[in-house]
Amino acid sequence: MLQFMRDYAKSWFIKIMLWTVVASFVGTMFLVWGMGKETSAGVVATVDGKKIIYTEYQEFYKRILDFYKKQQGNLNEELFAPIVKKAAIDSLITRKLQLSIAKKEGLVVIDEEVIDEIQGMDVFKKDGRFDKDLYIRILQANRMNPGGFEDAVREDLLVKKVENLIKDGVKISKKEVKDAYARANEKVDVDYLILSPSNFINRVTFAPDKIEEFYNNNKSLFQRGEEMVVEYIAADSKGFEANVKIEDNRVNEYYNGHINEYKLAKRVKAGHILIAVSPEADEKAEVEGRAKAVKVLQELKGGGDFAELAKKYSDDPNKGKGGDLGFFSKGQMVKQFEDAAFALKEGEPSEPVRTPFGYHIIKVEKIEDERTKGLSEVRDDIVKILKDGDAKNIAKTELDGIRKGADLKSADFNTVVKGKQHFTASGGGFKKDDREHPVLSKAAFALKRGDVSEILEDGGKFYILKYKEKKDAFIPKFEEIKGEVEKAYRDEEAKKIVDLEAGKILEDLKKGKEFKKAADELKAMKGTTGYVTRNTIASSIGRDENLVQTVFNTKKGDYNKVKLNDNYFLVYIKDRLGIDEKKFQEEEKEFTNRLLTEKQNYTYQQWIENTKKTAEETGRIKITKGFI
């Protein structure tokens, strides 16, 4: 097991990566593991002979979906379902593999470790201490018993030990650190010119017969997609909310079951006075900036008014508000600023604090400790959530009654809903893969002549669709779309011209032609980045990897070009700056730790993927046929 990790660590290279794990569900995972008993729903997969049963999968699927709904708001469940389904089964399989490996490696978790882990969870704490009654209440609200939960925590800790076993073997050399630091901090100053087909559209000439020839050779470009025309009955759940009454016991139950959502982190209300100093400032500018900040601080300590001093000296755009930043919690400000602010007492000013923006004098006006919102604060929100759920259930139930109470295949929909509040009947057409109504579009195209759909939810409304007509895809006649064809022809020809001209213009620039003159002649976009790193260049010319690599691989004083989609970027490297060795020495320890963490995460993710691949190839993972 460890051989791959050792081999991989040797060949590891620095790269930017997205480390996405199901860690978002830590603290709620226990609501899934160990919940289910095997039922007639069956087994969805086995890993090393251990079963993943449908109830286990279903519960985890629901929790991932709920998580993304909270992140994205009005999430289209049907469209998102395949992604969530795969994420759920992949995560469950990974967990089973991790537990299997833990057993093979002889890893164990003793009772004291489980107890320490549970008692350290904030969700079970009251006034900063573990509260057994709260612990039992939260488990009961989530349909769990202490035994099942504690078994789940034990499994979580085993999985963590497997993770640590892999990560602890990962090392990082000084050369890796220096190379990565250079990649992150070297700077270039770039002039650029963007050539687009639109800059050459006026150069396109053609004989009239060329347009029709283009149409005949590219008819598929002008095809109109097939369309499904339906009749429908719609029920708006919002109309039913007025008749919904929510009892106090339901509000209390919801609050207790979602108590973790109402925890508020510690936050402070602060103001600052900023003396702006560039991150790349030389020693003289640094000294002058700090001296000015010290002078402002002395005035403040001498009885000066903070707000007035901010208006007078601060370089921050909010200085008109006296430097007031309002309330913020950890994670909202840059680290240096945050550390200083949260270390202050109310009314206490800080010493000058250096951040990438310059020197700050910070003053905390008010501190609000971590707390949990009381029921009275969130009652209205909870009632709204419960009302929305109940109203949807009523709308769906009444629509289901309509569906069962009439022969909708032959009935006139307008007659069916006549006199019924909150129901409407209408009709319309859907294109395939309709982005505005993907659920209805997919359901419409599944209908056959004479079919009536099941009840569908889309945008907070419920629908029943009935097949009316299917319109096949077709290509309009040339005469009907001549203008559209001519535009498409011009666009294609302009792309060919820009391909030819980009190289010629680059050679002209190398021979001394000015960027401005070239840009003005073509009415092309031009600009300069100023000194930028690989990360900050995005704000100037974008973050396309090929473009960034080309820019940073081009020598000072050289020109280059990069094609990006249909456009060309012509770049001139005016200057390059290497790293500040003194600054590197100051930041080396923190940077090394951060880089090591990235490397450990990457190595662990690769180990998981390789372990799964090997298990699949050797038949240790078996997914029920037809499930995915």
Q: What is the pLDDT of residues 193-227, one digit of tens each?
A: 999 999 999 999 888 889 999 999 999 999 998 99
- Residue 20 has what pLDDT? 28
Q: pLDDT band for 546, please (50, 70, 90 cuts).
A: very high
pLDDT digits (tens, 9 = 90+) for 148-195: 889 989 999 999 999 999 999 999 999 999 999 999 899 999 999 999
Q: How many CA atoms lie within 13 A of 1 on its CB side?
A: 19
**Reported CATH class of domain 266-369:** alpha beta
Question: Which one-letter amino acid corresponds to residue 354?
Answer: R
Burial of 20 (0-12, 13-18, 19+ CB in 10 A): exposed
CATH 3.30.465.10 fits 2-172+590-623, yes or no: no
Average pLDDT over residues 423-439: 88
Cα–Cα separations (whole angstroms), residue 130 to 124, 134, 371, 567: 6, 8, 15, 60
Average pLDDT over residues 489-498: 94
CA pseudo-torsion sign 528, 531, 532, 533: positive
- Residue 17 has what pLDDT? 22
pLDDT digits (tens, 9 = 90+) for 389-399: 999 999 999 99
The enclosing H or E element of 62 equals: helix 54-72
Among the residue ranges 282-291, 505-514, 598-607, the one predicted with the least confidence is 282-291
Phi-psi region of 542 (alpha: psi -120 to 50; beta: other; left: phi over 0): left
CA neighbor of 33 nearest in space, from 10, 8, 57 = 57
Indicate if the pLDDT at residue 508 is higher than 90. yes
- Residue 4 has what pLDDT? 31
Question: Which one-letter amino acid corresponds to residue 264?
Answer: L
Burial of 540 (0-12, 13-18, 19+ CB in 10 A): middle
Please give the structure tokens belonging to residue 288: 């002058």
Output the CA angle 121-124-130, nearest 5 degrees.
85
Q: How many CA atoms lie within 13 A of 19 on its CB side?
A: 14
- Residue 10 has what pLDDT? 30
Q: Mean pLDDT score of the chain, rounded to an integer?
A: 86
The Cα–Cα gap between 313 and 407 comes to 77
- Residue 351 has what pLDDT? 93
Please give the structure tokens belonging to residue 294: 């010290």
The Cα–Cα gap between 193 and 45 comes to 55
Strands (E), 300-381: 324-329, 353-355, 358-368, 371-372
Strand arrangement, sheet containing 559-564: 525-532, 187-195, 567-577, 559-564
User: Would you say 228 and 430 are in contact if contact means Cβ atoms under 8 Å apart?
Assistant: yes
Name 559's bridge partners. 572
**Reported CATH class of domain 227-245+381-471:** alpha beta
Q: pLDDT band for 76, please (50, 70, 90 cuts).
A: low
Q: Do the domains 227-245+381-471 and 266-369 sit in the same CATH topology, yes or no? A: yes
Delimit the domains of the chain by residue range: 2-172+590-623, 187-221+480-577, 227-245+381-471, 266-369
CA neighbor of 193 nearest in space, from 523, 555, 575 = 523
User: Would you say 296 and 273 are in contact if contact means Cβ atoms under 8 Å apart?
Assistant: yes
User: Would you say 181 and 584 are in contact if contact means Cβ atoms under 8 Å apart?
Assistant: yes
In degrees rounded to 5, what are phi and psi of residue 519?
Answer: -65, -45
Strand arrangement, sheet containing 267-276: 324-329, 267-276, 358-368, 353-355
CA 490 from chain centre, in angstroms, equals: 38
